Amino acid sequence: MKCVTVKKGVNCSFMASSGCSFKDGFCLPVVEKCEGCDRTKEFEGKIYCNSYPDPEAKWDHGACNFATHVQAVVDKAGKVKINPLKASKRAARGR
């Protein structure tokens, strides 16, 4: 159903005839770590994520799995590291 709150006109699975069913009833803006991601879009002067309504939560446990500008890799010790080269590798391949 199309959003009528923050991202007006965008199809969203949280939108219902009774209104937005996500947490407090609206999407939250992106966080600093989202900078450079292709999934961001501006709505009425604020930047939001096109894929997830609470961007900060997507970074709680390492890198956001929807991010287009970074890639999470697990090192030999089992720690999650963020590889920021994903976008530049894509650009080098000509995409």
Q: How far is the CB of 39 from ligand SF4 (least distance, A)?
A: 4
CB closer to ligand SF4, 6 vs 34: 34
Cα–Cα dist 84/68, whole Å: 10
**Minimal distance, residue 34 CB to ligand SF4, in Å:** 3
Q: How far apart are CA 29 and CA 59, in angstroms?
A: 13
Q: State in angstroms the smallest separation of the CB of 1 from ligand SF4.
A: 20
Q: Which residues bind ligand SF4 (CB under 6 A)?
A: 30, 34, 37, 39-40, 49, 51-52, 55, 58, 64, 66-67
**Contact between 64 and 71 (Cβ < 8 Å):** no
Give the SS3 label for residue 48: strand
